[in-house]
Amino acid sequence: MARANAQKNLVVIVGGVLLLLFIGSNFIKTVPVGRVGVATLFGNTQSEGYAQGIHIPVNPLYRWTMFDARQQTHLETANVPSQDQLQTKLDVSVQYRIDGAMAPDILEQTGTADAAVRVHLIPKLRSLLREQGKSIKRAEDFFKEATQETLQLALTDGLRDYLEPKGIIVSAVLIRDITLPPFIVQAIEQKKEREQAVERERAELERVRTELQQQVARAEAGREAAEQEAARKRILADAQAYEITQINNAIARNQAYIQLQSLEALKAISKDPASKVYFMDGSSPSPLPLMHLGDPQR
């Protein structure tokens, strides 16, 4: 009998503990990291949100909606018309986050965080893209660095002013990619090809000009060398002519030298068996040929 009563008491105790745990868990709310919890009671939104962490006690009748307050990125692709009536496709990314302090207002006025992005951020972004495109004269101007910087700044400022009162904080708008109309892309490629061809021609002309300059330099060097060689030969010729003149003058003043050379010539003639010597004048003081050279003129 006592044993049966003990078992009944144990069951009652365990049941009571479980009941207390179940009721106690409803008084405790844990909000995950980076989230903001918004509580509603019978359709009424609580004015203050619950930051990350454990909150005790809370009304167990609350219904909870969680908002992710961490940094998010929205990707958007839109066709943007410029003043030349051409459509340029832009890929942009918007970096934003939900303002946790305004999470109750967002829930009450718009709904979830995704609904706020869908209702407020996306339509405003597309509208700003179209408006900014109207300030750009030509589609190819989208590739200019100054145009991209101006566009990003205008989009960022426009979204901030519009979305901050609605609980969305925009940190930056970045242009990820730009796609021009196909015929403009083709025209740009053809222009680049022409510019590259001009650069190749300019390089070839520079090469030819350099070669011509080198040839002119070599020709000039050759001309100078030829002039120097001609001058050297003239100097040698003048020296030789002077030497011959001096020798002739010396010979003219020394008649014996001529007769001596005549004797040497006769010796050379006499050694040749085929040579013959003819006496010019037997009664002459110099009957031998060549010996009269050097005699005073009569």
Among residues 66, 90, 71, 63, which one has the least CA distance to residue 79?
90
Is the pLDDT confidence value at 20 over 90? no
Q: What order of strands is seen across the sheet that includes strand 87-98?
A: 72-81, 87-98, 168-179
pLDDT tens per residue, range 159-180: 999 999 999 999 999 999 988 8
Among residues 120, 104, 129, 132, which one has the least CA distance to residue 44?
104
Neighbours of 125 (CB within 10 A): 22
Lowest mean pLDDT among 23-32, 72-81, 148-157: 23-32
Is the pLDDT confidence value at 194 over 50? yes
Q: Taking residues 205-217, what's their average pLDDT?
A: 88
Which stretch of DSSP H or E encloses residue 38? strand 35-41
Write down the pLDDT at residue 257. 64
* Residue of 191 and 75 predicted with greater confidence: 75
CA end-to-end span of the chain: 193
| Burial (Cβ within 10 Å: 0-12, 13-18, ≥19) of residue 167 | buried
Write down the pLDDT at residue 258. 64
Q: How far is CA 114 from CA 2, 97, 122, in A?
A: 62, 11, 11
The class that CATH gives domain 72-180 is: alpha beta
Task: Give the integer Cα–Cα distance in Å for 154 and 128.
Answer: 8
Give the 3-state secondary structure of residue 43: coil
Write down the pLDDT at residue 5. 62
Lowest mean pLDDT among 152-156, 214-218, 246-250: 246-250
Neighbours of 158 (CB within 10 A): 19
Write down the pLDDT at residue 19. 47
Task: Give the integer Cα–Cα distance in Å for 152 and 121.
Answer: 15
Q: Give 188's DSSP letter.
A: H
